[in-house]
Amino acid sequence: MTPLKIKNIVFSSLDELKAEDPVSINVKKTSSFTDYMVIATGNSNRHIKAISDKVLSSLKENKVELLGIEGQGDEGWILIDTGDVVLHLMSDKARNFYDLESLWDSDL
């Protein structure tokens, strides 16, 4: 499956569970570890966990292999790595503190 299709699956899940301010960052030219970074905010740890469960379910349904998952949502950040797409689900506080978007140019 192409990286763009994986990114679209992720965005569809984010939209379905009302993730806040999803952003796609194309890092193909500057990164050797992934093609896209996706960042989205959940409004609580429970919301972040629910979003991650939906994304994981959608990826599994589409037979997308995972390289790893970090975090359980309790710390306000879950990372899902498919290789081609890395998703950061973050609390508003964590997203503002780490400010990942400022490190890259977004391709909304």
Specify the 3-state DSSP secondary structure of 96.
Answer: helix
Per-residue pLDDT at 87: 97
Using the structure block, give the residue that is written with the tokens 């965005």: 11
For the chain, percent helix, then strand, then coil, each to nearest 5?
A: 40, 25, 35
Specify the 3-state DSSP secondary structure of 81.
Answer: strand
Element (H, E) at 82: none
Q: What is the pLDDT of residues 2-41, one digit of tens each?
A: 999 999 999 999 999 999 999 999 988 777 788 999 999 9
Q: Is the pLDDT of residue 104 over 80?
A: no
Per-residue pLDDT at 105: 61
Domains of the chain: 3-103 (3.30.460.10)
| CA pair distance 19, 85, nearest whole angstrom | 17
Per-residue pLDDT at 108: 44
Cα 82 from chain centroid (whole Å): 10
pTM assigned to the model: 0.91
Amino acid identity, residue 15? Answer: D
